[in-house]
Amino acid sequence: MSAAVDYPVSLAVEDFVPVLLTTVGVLLLRHSVPERRAVLAAAVLIGCGGAAKATAKLLAATGHGDHAWLRGMLFPLLTLGFGLLCLILMRQGGRVPLWLRILVPGLIAVCTAGAVLSGDPIVFLVSTTVFATLAGIRLIGTARRRGDIVAANLFGLQLLVFFILGSLASRPDQTVALQWGEQLSNTVAQAAFAYAAWRLATASQHPATDPTQETR
């Protein structure tokens, strides 16, 4: 199939929307944690990874060739971004748990070796999934502790769609209709993530006067 058939221009352009929503959502998390510069770095890595894949789609759709190196940047950059975000969110009492300090660099190293040996960056999907899952679970827990069930459910929705899309993306018969379904679902999920992050940011800037509300 030609690139134009695989990636209509409209489909390629829409792919930038969930990337923007995810990046904005991560940036909003800066208001919920003290490590704002680290969150900014995570947002840049995640945003660049998604933008690289979307740009590759757009170039293919407009007849400018298949740039495998751009597509291949997606999961390595997502791994670094979500790995960093995971370390930030899981910090407790100013310290990151020892098991996580071992897991993040260790898994990145293993996936890097696997990608080099196999010649395929898709290996980084494993580390991306692990780090994104840990970060999502942490965000769900944080929202619940703050009594924001809406945000907790939205973070849970985003995580559920992440797993569903991961299985759909592995299917070989990627029709245009299927890709539209995947991208629109991803857009809804990332919009939910961004809104949930905004709710956490708003709560952090305007904390409740009753401290018992934080644990309800």
Q: Which residue range is the domain that position 70 belongs to? A: 3-215
Question: How far is the CA of 174 from the CAs of 7, 121, 129, 188, in angstroms?
Answer: 10, 19, 21, 20
Q: How many domains does the chain have?
A: 1
Contacts 24+ apart (CB under 8 A), 120-129: 121/72, 121/73, 121/74, 121/75, 121/76, 122/75, 123/75, 124/75, 124/76, 124/78, 124/79, 125/75, 125/166, 127/75, 127/79, 127/83, 128/75, 128/78, 128/79, 128/82, 129/162, 129/163, 129/166
Model confidence at 207: pLDDT above 80: no
Q: What is the average pLDDT value for the chain, to the nearest integer?
A: 89
> Looking at residues 111-124, what average pLDDT do you find?
95
| pLDDT tens digits for range 101-110 | 999 999 999 9
Model confidence at 38: pLDDT above 80: yes
Model confidence at 215: pLDDT above 50: no
**What CATH number does residue 182 fall under?**
1.20.1070
Say what the alpha-carbon torsion angle 66, 52, 130, 39 is, to the nearest 10 degrees: 170
Backbone angles phi, psi at 27, to 5 degrees: -60, -35
| pLDDT tens digits for range 176-204 | 888 899 999 999 999 999 999 999 999 76
| pLDDT tens digits for range 93-102 | 778 999 999 9
